[in-house]
Homo-oligomer: A and B are copies of this chain.
Amino acid sequence: GYEKMPRSLKGLESAGEWPLLKKLLPELKDKRILDLGCGFGWHCRYARKEQAHSVVGIDISEKMLQRARELTDDPHIAYRKIPMEDIHFAADSFDVVFSSLAFHYVRAFKAICIKVHDCLTSGGKFVFSVEHPVFTARAEQDWWYDEHGNRLHWPIDHYQHEGIRHTPFLTEDVIKYHRTLATYINTLVDAGFMIKTVEETFATEEMIQKNPAMFDENRRPMFLLIRAEKMM
């Protein structure tokens, strides 16, 4: 299962998109951080290592939160079990709201944007990654192969049909929600955010040299990263 994947065992350095995501984060020193879908808490601990003032990590998996709690005795990290669309924090509670690869599991992206906007301070940053709409469009979420098993290209279909995708993940079926790129951007803008940076994951020469299979990451974007800012 998920807990056996490199990113779960070895943390951030094993997540290919982390260098790109890290660059989108503001200076975290003395900042109040909210992590939506914190999982095992890797990013929460990273934030504290960067001298964040305090971190709240939200997840719905008790199992993951339990593991996250075992991995730290830091009194300035608080883990809470709650669906991220049900968060309710006072205005001006956080300077940075962060989320890594969680929103494509949630139907209520609009509600999340509104709630994040509510609890962020003015000028606060909202930085997140999701599976790219190009990646989530087809439920299969896989390459198109020739008869020898070679990857011919990445197929897209049903792009404008937003909603549930029953996708294979490891050995199980997982429910994900496909949204268009326009929906990601416009929902943020409508909630009162300014779009500061959009990134689509790719492989650097260095990554390809370490692992030639990474070349395929330049053939289609797997993750979408967005840095937005609550307008003053």
Q: Give A residues with C-beta under 8 Å from B.
A: 134, 137-138, 144, 152-161, 180-182, 185-186, 189, 194-200, 202-203, 217-221
Contacts and interface: CB of A to CB of B under 8 A. Distances in A.
Given A159-B218, A189-B195, A218-B159, A181 B200 contact: yes
Contact of A155 (B153, B186, B198, B199): B153
Nearest to A158: B219
Contacts of A180: 200, 221
- Give this chain's copy count: 2
Given A134-B134, A144-B144, A155-B154, A196 B200 contact: no
B189 A196 contact: yes
A12 to B, nearest CB: 21
A195 B226 CA distance: 13
A163 to B, nearest CB: 13
Contacts of A197: 185-186, 189
Nearest to A188: B195
Given A181-B181, A181-B200, 5 more contacts: A153-B157, A156-B220, A157-B220, A158-B218, A159-B221
A156 B153 contact: yes
Contacts of A199: 182
A203 B161 CA distance: 11
A189 B24 CA distance: 14
Contacts of A218: 158-161
A154 B152 contact: no
B198 A181 contact: yes
Nearest to A217: B160
Contacts of A194: 194-195
